[in-house]
Structure 1
Amino acid sequence: MNITKPHLAIVGLTVITIILIYYYYYEIVVLQEKQPQPEQVITPENKGIFGVDEIYPTAKDGREWFINMEDPLNDKSFSITSDVPIVKNVEDGLAWSINDTQIRMNVGTPDNAQPWKNIEMTGYVKIRSVYEINQENEGGISSADSESLAPDLTWRARGGSHNNQNPCEGTALNGGIDVVNMEAAWKKEIWHTGGYTDSRGSAQATENPLLDRWIGWKTIMYNLDNNTSVKMESFIDDNNDNVWKKVNEVTDEGGWFANSSDEEFKSANCNRDKDYIITNSGPIATFRADNIALDFKNLSIREIQPA
């Protein structure tokens, strides 16, 4: 059969059309698809974007925040109280260093976003040195947010600003670890600063000194029983190998009272019971440290779906 020139032209046009359709779909649609914004990142099941294991899965449409390790301060949601400076770690290019008697690294809530409530907070730290307790005034310990003097790490949430001008905003569930004795515990703050409770859930987090080595620390909080109680859990990655061990858990169903006098507790006029259960959400979650110098990396907060 003879193939005429018109037939060849038709075949050629068909091939060219197929090539153009493929090019448009692959180059324009696939490769140039808009990338998600930081708080829209959907993490793989059981892993965060830093490769860190998740204890609980992210809630459906749940908010997620991951620190910008290239430039943490280039993030409107992230701030450091009193503008304490951070510097890139010259020994470990994947970490940042901070040094102060009061460290408060805050993650706020953008307009029209849900405040932090049922969350899993994670961070890795290397403690470089510990301040002597008698040095606390150098960091302005008489200023706002100064309840804890011991060298410790605390991840906290479910409140707003912690200052004397807005005492009723200063609610918090605080999951901390004492750097010297390696003991972990939870404290509740019903208002700032006269609403602190005694600690609960005290447990030995590790047998190994915490100085000059990387550890991971997680605090988790979520409501139970139709938002009438709250459960708190803490975990440690003791060997920096992404193996997480539960350290303690505490459930607040009432009866966990502020340790201030009745007169002091009522002086803030927050209209709360002295054993108020912090089931509320809050716009600010904070990675806190007192009286230590440290390196940090891979901070994250996620709204979770508890089992």
Structure 2
Amino acid sequence: MIVIILATSVLVSILNEIDTALPTNTAVAAVAPVISKNNNKVTVDKFGIRKIYPTKSNGTEWYINMSSPLNDKSFSLSGGGEKTSNSSLANATSLNGHIIKEPDGSYQVYGVRKTGKYDFSVRMNVNASDIAKWWKNIEMTGYVKVVTDTSSGAALDWYARGRLHISSSPCEGVAYHAGLRADGSVYWQKEIWHTGGYTDFRSNITATHSLLGRWVGLKIIMFNINNDSAVRLQTYLDDNATNHWKKVADVVDNGGWYADNPNDLFYSANCGRSKDYIVTNAGPIATFRSDNMIWDFKDLNIREIQPPSDVKVDTIKQLTTNTSSTYNPYVFGNATQEWIDKEHNVKILFSPSPEYPSVGNLTQLGFNVQDLKTGSHLNNMTATVTVINNSTANIGTGISKGTPNGDFSIFKNISAPNGSFSVKDHFLQAGM
């Protein structure tokens, strides 16, 4: 029997008055970038890389020294949370990591071997010591090539808006994290304190194919909106390293994005922050992080940007449920499966076709989202479902938009007669 896993992440957004460029959060909905223009000419940064947003007038800019990265007092290398000063990095190496210049002028970076999650961990930190120049509304950019990944958890993780991320000062470790995994998937995650204040992933989707052995451009962008009451988070990729950028993730945090840990653990740090704290503050450190990989980089830079002035995000509520279920549609027929998230007042109904998977290569799956208290339907939903088999090979994707009870289709390439499947972390976006 072949087990089919339906896997995406559930995100329900209630949208009222919004700008048409607001997030869709679907992997297939990547759109052309909002490239900054001046007299119809695309503006670029110091390295010739296209800007998504213009640099703020007199804003802070940092560019890596491609001749000697460590010959920069604002730049330091650490691994797995330990602090390392530049002065200890003799010959560009330390107990925490290594930076080696490649023949093509790029640099290879990797950490030390460690058991578990932090194998080869690297933290390249950019410190804006002057409080007036702390990182808040920023565009972090670079080109990367994964040389080796040592586990399925291999990922780049770039973040900002906090200080040190160490257990001895837990409340300093606040950030928005933008991830790009070696397999080509992306995500956003919030850290309210280190390490007990992590949320679930948002926009946790496949954006491209494997990064092994090829150059890819990565931009992660964060800026405040709604009079500094909410934050917009975006990821762009230059998939072929040709300076053509596409948006692959777009998330708004204006509340309701909660830390995963139980209340007693979350509040034990005494940071004075709510469990869905919105990180609107600036911070002195921005970090280019990686775990479980060796990778090459070039042209890393961070710019303080001028966010668009016309973005309006009113009464947006983003909700997540991590409930999962497994059942056999041949047994349950038309029975509707419910996911109830009381914390966020949402009920999601998900119904497989009883014919699954006997209708050729087409599987019909119906869904709707309701307000848990009133039972009213949330309209204009989008759903994206990725199907993988028991060896985690991606075998199909389906998408549907615009109807409160619309079916969406999954095109599959294998047969699983009488096979059960599980629905885990399904993805939905709904608006009223």
**TM-score normalised over the length of structure 1:** 0.77
Partners of 1:284 and 1:209 lie apart in 2 by: 29
Question: Alpha-carbon deviation of 1:178?
Answer: 1.7
Partner SS state of residue 251, structure 1: strand
| Bigger share in strand | 2
Which residue of 2 is the match for residue 24 of structure 1?
A: none
Which residue of 1 is the match for residue 107 of structure 2?
A: 96
Q: How does 1:189-208 map to 2 (within 5 A)?
A: 189-206=191-208, 208=209
Question: Alpha-carbon deviation of 1:132?
Answer: 3.2
* Cα shift readout 1:187-221 (whole Å, capped 9, x = no counterpart): 00000000000001123211x32100100111000
Match of 1:54 among 41, 51, 54: 51
Q: How many residues align?
A: 244
Partners of 2:305 and 2:230 lie apart in 1 by: 16
Answer whether contact 2:197 2:259 (CA < 8 A) is retained: yes
Question: Alpha-carbon deviation of 1:112?
Answer: 5.3
Which residue of 2 is the match for residue 260 of structure 1?
A: 261
Partners of 1:58 and 1:284 lie apart in 2 by: 19
Partners of 2:145 and 2:55 lie apart in 1 by: 27
Which residue of 1 is the match for residue 250 of structure 2?
A: 249
Amino acid at match of 1:169: E
Q: How does 1:162-201 map to 2 (within 5 A)?
A: 162-180=165-183, 182-201=184-203
Answer whether contact 1:179 1:210 (CA < 8 A) is retained: yes
Unmatched tracts of structure 2, length 5 or more: 1-40, 80-93, 112-119, 309-432
Partner SS state of residue 70, structure 1: coil
Question: Alpha-carbon deviation of 1:45?
Answer: 6.7
Partner SS state of residue 240, structure 1: coil
Question: Alpha-carbon deviation of 1:110?
Answer: 2.7
* Cα shift readout 1:148-178 (whole Å, capped 9, x = no counterpart): xx10011110000000011000001011112
Q: How does 1:111-190 map to 2 (within 5 A)?
A: 111=130, 113-132=132-151, 150-180=153-183, 182-190=184-192
* Cα shift readout 1:86-122 (whole Å, capped 9, x = no counterpart): 11113x1x20111222111000013354200000000
Report which of the two structures shows the higher radius of gyration computed on alpha carbons.
Answer: 1
**TM-score normalised over the length of structure 2:** 0.55
Partners of 1:275 and 1:176 lie apart in 2 by: 20
Alpha-carbon spacing, 1:50–1:201, altered in 2? closer, same or farther (3 Å): same
Answer whether contact 1:46 1:56 (CA < 8 A) is retained: no
Which residue of 2 is the match for residue 301 of structure 1?
A: 302
Query: Does residue 75 of the first structure (1) align with residue 83 of the second (2)?
Result: no
Which residue of 1 is the match for residue 214 of structure 2?
A: 213
Partners of 1:125 and 1:112 lie apart in 2 by: 30
Which residue of 1 is the match for residue 275 of structure 2?
A: 274
Partners of 1:277 and 1:209 lie apart in 2 by: 32
Partners of 1:243 and 1:264 lie apart in 2 by: 44
Partners of 1:112 and 1:245 lie apart in 2 by: 33
Answer whether contact 1:216 1:240 (CA < 8 A) is retained: yes
Partners of 1:295 and 1:132 lie apart in 2 by: 18
